[in-house]
Amino acid sequence: MPDNVLKNPMYRMPVSFGPTPGPRQGPDGKPFANLSESRRRTIEVTFRSDAKQLETLLPPGFILDGEPLVTLEYQYLTNLAWLAGRGYNILSVKIPTVFQGKTKNVRGPFLAVLWENSPDAILSGREELGFSKLYCELPPVRRFKGQEHYVASWQGHEFFHMNVKPIEELDISTLSAPKTDGVLHYKYMPRTGEWGTEEIAYAAITPVTTGHVKVEKKWRCDGSASFSKASWEQLPTLHHIVNKLADLKNFGVVSSTITETAGTTDLSEQEIVD
């Protein structure tokens, strides 16, 4: 953004109080400049699943790309400028896809769903970016006898567990970036009063950018992760999602890593894919 000034002030409800501070707009109405000071720790487990099952999770225009893999990511974000140095945690589910648009095709992991433990991050990400964000509790890691344990819960009911054990620290100078156009999304907003119809429904992409994020450390791990089926009473608004993920066939873990990075982007590069 030229001269670090937003073209138009950004609003979210309630609009009568003025422009809304958030990840892409500070209290002075300008983007944040000190994005290099943030930190992120990403714990990842990827397993091979069933193609037909994964296809049922893809919105219109999306097809599987290559092997039927599922990547589960647990992330800790800290020292974020837009939260005045605070942070939050993330659990996400990604599937390798190609989106076949009217004007172009784009390749990248489809972000099927992600949970966060910050309502502020959820609201801005859903409304402005089109991320499929939901709320849950994502507590700090528990370390014991060389293993790291991660959990996700809703009002105390645990529905996800991940266990990893770092095996080998990798030489980051030899790492190569994955061949992808970016992370893909499907933004959907219902139309008020016309129940069951959409106000908007389209694909979006978080394009790959360079120079914003620096990998500081990375480990190869032994890892496992799983969702646990739940009843409506246990997860009134999440059981339909969690149960579909719990039903996915797991034919074995293909990779597990821990990555520590510095720096971030405010995701203002997010765009619609036609």
Q: What is the pLDDT of residues 149-173, one digit of tens each?
A: 999 999 999 999 999 999 999 999 9
Helix (H) or strand (E) holding 226: strand 214-227
User: How deeply is 19 buried, as exposed, middle or buried, from its count of CB atoms within 10 A (0-12, 13-18, 19+)?
Assistant: middle
User: How deeply is 104 buried, as exposed, middle or buried, from its count of CB atoms within 10 A (0-12, 13-18, 19+)?
Assistant: exposed
Q: What does the pLDDT average to over 56-60?
A: 98
Give every CB contact of residue 83 below 8 A, 6+ residues apart in sequence: 118, 120
Q: What does the pLDDT average to over 224-249?
A: 99
Per-residue pLDDT band for 4 (boundaries 50, 70, 90) equals low
| Rounded Cα distance, 185 and 111, in Å | 6
Token code pair at residue 172: 């980051």
pLDDT confidence of residue 2:
42
pLDDT confidence of residue 1:
39
Per-residue pLDDT band for 210 (boundaries 50, 70, 90) equals confident
Average pLDDT for the chain: 96
Residue 85 predicted with pLDDT over 60: yes
Query: pTM of this prediction?
Result: 0.95
Q: Which residue has the tokens 């266990």?
A: 163
Q: What does the pLDDT average to over 217-229?
A: 99
Count Cα atoms within 13 angstroms, Cβ side, for 235. 22
User: pLDDT digit string (tens) for 172-185?
Assistant: 999 988 899 999 99
| Rounded Cα distance, 84 and 227, in Å | 33
Residue 78 predicted with pLDDT over 80: yes
How many C-beta neighbours within 10 Å does residue 27 have? 9
Domains in the chain, CATH or no CATH each = 1-31 (no CATH), 38-273 (2.40.400.10)
